[in-house]
Amino acid sequence: MHDDDTPSAIETRLTALESRYAYQEDWLDSLDQAIATQEKRLAQLERMNQLMQGKLREQQRALQESDIATPGPDDERPPHY
């Protein structure tokens, strides 16, 4: 207990505690909203990453297929034949 336990001092301490509690409650609500927003953004970025990886794989496959289908310099006949 404190040295000054008069009703006025107790009321002052209680008011201060209520004020701190209200501030912390508001702060936690703000943090909850920020986390929810970040979770949504993270889910969007993960989806974009998956789509981009898929497109990159498709492009690599297409490039490999075109490299196989395109005759190289070793496959061409010299002009004097």
Determine, yes or no, domain membership for 57.
yes
Region 13-37: what's the mean pLDDT? 97
CA angle 57, 59, 63 (to 5 degrees): 115
- 79 confidence band (pLDDT: 50, 70, 90): confident
Determine, yes or no, domain membership for 58.
yes
Determine, yes or no, domain membership for 20.
yes
Q: How many domains does the chain have?
A: 1
| This model's pTM is above 0.85 | no
Helix residue spans in 1-77 (DSSP H): 7-69
Question: What pLDDT, in 10s, does the model give residues 28-49?
Answer: 999 999 999 999 999 999 999 9
